[in-house]
Amino acid sequence: MARPKQFDEDRAVDAAMRAFWSAGYEATSTQDLCAATGLGRSSIYNTFSSKPDLFRRALRRYMDEKNAGLFATVDAAGPVKDRVRALLWNVVEAPEDDPLGCLVVNSTVELGPRDAGVADLLRADLDRRLTALTAMIEAGQRAGEIRTERPAADLAQFVSATIGGMRVAARGGADRATLAGIADVALDCL
């Protein structure tokens, strides 16, 4: 008879997510995952089967958490430009206990070109976000809040790329004032 698990699997995935977010996939060793989760190697492999499996679960968790905030902002009432401002300022005012950067951006660069499974996850995530952003921006264009010289889909790509770029800049050491400046320039473009 198998022994029952004596740990919280969700907490282990959260801890692994933060480890991968901080160091990246390749630089996060199994020993790092053991230290982060408090689990032994056998518990990690018995529960998650492999480092790639645990990474995919951690990446999905990250996407779910970050997208929940994005979709809540996109779907909120109020002027569209204010909602875009809120999305950009979420990066400027990121929680101090969050690792710097973005696990999605990091994974796109590190694994997207060479791991088809991760690339599929990342593509589906981007498509969901772009669909929501495009719909919001189209509504803003119809209401006269957002410029109409550019297609809404292009502006959605711009907002998404700006958010990703701000997260990279933060990881590279950009301070709050620099990130706020980037956000303000982006808003001026809308």
- pLDDT at position 67, please? 93
Residue 4 has pLDDT above 80, yes or no: no
CA distance 88 to 187: 9
Cβ proximity of 88 and 186 under 8 Å: yes
Mean per-residue pLDDT over the chain, rounded: 93
Looking up tokens 């060479």, which residue turns up?
114
Amino acid in position 87: L
CA distance 163 to 145: 20
Cβ proximity of 20 and 6 under 8 Å: no
| C-alpha dihedral sign at 74, 79, 83, 86 | negative
Q: What percent of the chain has pLDDT over 90?
A: 84
Cβ proximity of 12 and 37 under 8 Å: yes
CA distance 149 to 141: 10
pTM, full prediction = 0.89
Domain boundaries along the sequence of the chain: 56-188
Residue 3 has pLDDT above 70, yes or no: no
Cβ proximity of 60 and 135 under 8 Å: no
CA distance 125 to 104: 9
Specify the range with the lowest mean pLDDT, choosing from 84-88, 90-94, 96-100.
96-100
- Residue 113, phi then psi, degrees to nearest 5: -75, -15
Residue 5 has pLDDT above 70, yes or no: no
Q: What is the pLDDT of residues 152-169, one digit of tens each?
A: 999 999 999 999 999 999
Q: What is the mean pLDDT of residues 127-145?
A: 97
- pLDDT at position 47, please? 87
Residue 2 has pLDDT above 60, yes or no: no
Q: What is the pLDDT of residues 48-74, one digit of tens each?
A: 888 999 999 999 999 999 999 999 999
CA distance 135 to 15: 34
Counting every residue written for the chain, the total comes to 190
**With respect to CATH, is domain 56-188 assigned 1.10.357.10?**
yes
Cβ proximity of 85 and 127 under 8 Å: no
